[in-house]
A = this chain, B = another copy of it.
Amino acid sequence: MLTFDELKSIFLDYINDNHFDEEPIGLYHPVNYLMNLPGKRIRPVACLMTANIFKEDISSALPIAYSIEMFHNFTLMHDDIMDDADLRRSNETVHIKYNVNTAILSGDLMMIMSYKHLIECCDNLVLKDKILRLFTNTAIEVCEGQQYDMDFETQDDVSISRYLLMIKLKTAVLVAATFKAGAIIGGASDEDTDNLYKYGLNLGLAFQIQDDILDTYGDQNTFGKKIGGDIVQNKKTYLYLKSLEMADKESADRLKAIYNNTDIPEVEKIKKVKLIFDNLNIKEQADKLVAELTENAMDHFNAISVPDEKLIEIKKLAEFLLKRSL
């Protein structure tokens, strides 16, 4: 079994081999720029790793892994316009470095390119058809997730179930599809493929809730982002929405008032919100949900019918994703 680092290295070579030199450069340069920003490459490596469970030769999984990474970066290019974000992976976003029109059109091209690589992935039309249907339905769900996320910004009454639906669509389905696509191209049985999808779905949800927790309770040195950023930006995270659900009317109103107050200094705002979270034991609630989702994920993972020694690397990946230090 190839390790994470070995697969990442193979994938980076593949990106390099698929560098765009075509004209017009105004269209292709921004694609090279975004695809080459430093990233963990978890999705493409997870796809290759899953294929590698079932098959030694992962060459037909490479265009699929590439397609998923290209699609993910297409969503980043367009989401960054919609979110008015200046930075992506510590570098300028495409609409800042170039302009909005470029970020729209080069993003469109990336979406089409992600289909091109799927369509050219292999000669097995039956497998390819399965992957194309999976990819297309997933892409539609990701758009729906982004729309819900934007809708929530102006909605005062977002329920936990709607929030979980949003992060499922916006984030988890692509993680799930990544594992599933790797399984399909690796030649896994329908049952194993299905379990890997559900594994990825639960893992993706757990990862996102964990991210919400870390944003408030994480260690600045290991988290990578500024602690308390979600609170400062009034983001409707799991911690915030769960607090509103659990609090009495008075505490809920106080939380809303502090959250929406733009005049209060950042440090004070974070401190006050955290105090409300702590009084409601929100971190424990969120930890419990992450544990449940992780258990669900592992149930599906353990149901996969391959020898344990083939699952060593992918187990390490899940542990890496979920056990980020608090």
Is B115 in contact with A148, judged by CB distance below 8 angstroms?
no
**With A111-B111, A119-B132, A129-B119 in contact, is A143–B104 under 8 Å at CB?**
no
Q: List 7 tightest A-B contacts by C-beta distance, closest first.
A: A27-B147, A125-B125, A82-B101, A109-B143, A24-B147, A112-B139, A116-B136
Whether A26 sits at the interface, judged by CB under 8 Å, is yes
Is B116 in contact with A104, judged by CB distance below 8 angstroms?
no
In the complex, the count of this chain's copies comes to 2
**With A112-B136, A125-B125, A140-B116 in contact, is A24–B101 under 8 Å at CB?**
no
Among B101, B105, B107, B140, the residue within 8 A (CB) of A113 is B140
Whether A81 sits at the interface, judged by CB under 8 Å, is yes
**With A125-B126, A129-B119, A132-B119 in contact, is A146–B105 under 8 Å at CB?**
yes
Among B81, B120, B144, the residue within 8 A (CB) of A24 is B144
Whether A211 sits at the interface, judged by CB under 8 Å, is no
Q: Which residue of B lies closest to A147 (CB)?
A: B27
Whether A78 sits at the interface, judged by CB under 8 Å, is yes
**With A104-B81, A104-B104 in contact, is A140–B111 under 8 Å at CB?**
no
**Chain A residues proximal to chain B, CB less than 8 Å:** 22-24, 26-27, 78, 81-82, 101, 104-105, 107-109, 111-113, 115-116, 119-120, 125-126, 128-129, 132-133, 136-137, 139-140, 143-144, 146-148, 150-151
Q: For residue A105, which residues in chain B have a CB less than 8 angstroms away from its CB?
A: 78, 82, 143, 146-147, 150
Assembled-state Cα–Cα distance A143/B115 (Å): 14
Q: For residue A126, which residues in chain B have a CB less than 8 angstroms away from its CB?
A: 125
Q: Which residue of B lies closest to A150 (CB)?
A: B101
Is B119 in contact with A125, judged by CB distance below 8 angstroms?
no
Is B24 in contact with A151, judged by CB distance below 8 angstroms?
yes
Minimum CB–CB distance from A212 to chain B (whole Å) comes to: 21
Q: Which residue of B lies closest to A119 (CB)?
A: B132
Beyond contacts A24-B147, A24-B148, A108-B108: 8 other A-B pairs, Cβ-Cβ < 8 A, are A24-B151, A82-B105, A108-B143, A111-B111, A115-B115, A116-B136, A116-B140, A125-B126
Q: For residue A137, which residues in chain B have a CB less than 8 angstroms away from its CB?
A: 116
Assembled-state Cα–Cα distance A159/B140 (Å): 41
Is B26 in contact with A150, judged by CB distance below 8 angstroms?
yes
Q: For residue A147, which residues in chain B have a CB less than 8 angstroms away from its CB?
A: 24, 26-27, 105
Is A27 in contact with B136, judged by CB distance below 8 angstroms?
no
Assembled-state Cα–Cα distance A170/B24 (Å): 13
